[in-house]
Every structure is written in structure tokens, then in C-alpha cells.
Amino acid sequence: MTLVSELAFKKRTISSSCSRQSTTLNPDPRNALWGERPSDIDMQVFEGLITGCQGKAMLMWNLHLQQLMHIHTTYFDQASSEHTSEVVAVVREFLQSNPSIDYVLVATTQGDTGIAVAQALKGKKVVAVSHQAGFAAPNENELGEDKRKQIEGLGGQVLTTTHAFAGVARGIRKALGTWEINELLAVAYRTFGQGTKVCAEIAMMAADAGLVPTDKDVICIAGTGRGADTAWLVRPANTSSFPDLKMRACLCKPAQF
């Protein structure tokens, strides 16, 4: 079962019946996704029209879909690696409509998901983010050298680094049973699903490594255990600037997890 929801965006129009002129006020492009309330400047213009037209102005909210960004969110019936090909298809379709997005980040454990994304999205700057060394066993990394080279051979980059929501904080929890803010944030993000938490995490990891800019949106792909079942449009941030991280729009995720 797949459910699809659609976001429509608003454009503000203020028209004056006496002057027969209209002033179109577009939302701040940084917040174009969200159709926010009128700004103070908008209201000043509106009040000026009321004054100039002796109260005959009218505030109209145009609910027609604008071509700022058109997003379908696909919900899968459950978290599963079986959705990997569907996730890739959703991301490819979104990128066709939004070609200005250059970067695609993908979480990959053993390399298969990274290879699938690098193959499907040639022409984009694909960064495959692996587990950190020692995650499963001391001195080991689950991403084998052969699959690492396959990803790189397809034009992708591979990032292996400390997990943004783990690191020293996880070591303290394991040794002392004390939870710190990093892992508490991970718990909060998991209320949207494991894949959403990982999408936020790899965006910061790639930003800290200098592999993605922090002033442009990227696509993040992740899953639950293995494969992929989640994709988000994200504005990355460095871990030292965590509040600047923006989970801008969900492209797909499991509804049950």
C-alpha cells in the first residue's frame, strides 16, 4: 500500500477595486515551501491600499498551485529494504523537476544501496555515507573495499566518519549508562522513523567533512537497518551549528515503523 499526499503553496495577492491595480507579494523564497502568514511589509502595503482607496481594498489569498516547488510525499506501508528501488525512483523524479539540486547523500552499510543510488543518479554529486569504523566490531568497517571502489568508479564519493548523533556521547552511555544530548536528539528524530534520523545525521556528517555546502538544499536517502525507505530534502548544517539544520520536505518514508 502506498499513500500519496501533496503540498500546495500560496501566493499572496492584494488588489484594489478603485485603482484597478494589483500588487503581488511572493513569500520569502527561503520559506517558499510553507506559505507563511503575511509579513509586516505585506501588511504595510495592504494598509496603504486601504487608506488610498477609502477602505475598498480586498485581501485575496490565491490558492492556485505555484511552481515554486511541487512535492509529492509517498508513504510506504512499513519500513523495509524492499522499498529501495521505489525510493530511488521517487528521488529521480523529484530531481528531474528540480535540476538545480546537485547533491544526493545516501546512507550505506555494506555498499549495495550506495551503488544503486550512484548508478541511478549519474550526473549528480552522490556521497555514500558508511558506518564509522568500529561500529559493528573493533577495527572493522562493514563497507568492503571492493564495493567502496564500485561507488567511486560510478562517480560517487564515500564518507566514513564519526556519527553525528553518537561519537563520545555513545561511549559515555555504554560505559556509564548516562544519556547525553547527541543520543537524545537521535531518539527524538526516530519518532519520524529511523530513516529520518539517519537523513538528518548524514547531512551534518557530510557538511563537517566539507563534501556538501551548507547554503544549498540536498537530497538525503536512508533506511531502517538495510536498504532505503526514506528520502528528505534537507538544508545541511555543521554539527557545531545544529539548530541551522533544516528538514525541508519529506519525499518518502514509511507510515508504520
In CATH, 71-254 is 3.40.1380.20: yes
Residue 41: pLDDT band with limits 50, 70, 90: low
Closest CA to 226 of 188, 198, 185: 198
**Residues contacting residue 96 through CB under 8 Å, at least 6 positions apart:** none
Q: Which three cell numbers stand for residue 180?
A: 547525553
Average pLDDT of the chain is 80
Domain ranges in the chain are 8-62, 71-254
Contact 113, 221 (CB under 8 A): yes
Q: What pLDDT score was predicted for residue 72?
A: 87
Residue 215: pLDDT band with limits 50, 70, 90: very high
Tell me the C-alpha distance between 112 and 148, whole Å: 10
Closest CA to 79 of 225, 185, 233, 250: 225
- Asked if residue 60 has pLDDT above 70, the reply is no
Mean pLDDT of 194-208: 97
Tell me the C-alpha distance between 245 and 235, whole Å: 6
Residue 8: pLDDT band with limits 50, 70, 90: very low
Q: Which three cell numbers stand for residue 64?
A: 492556485
Closest CA to 69 of 3, 121, 10: 10
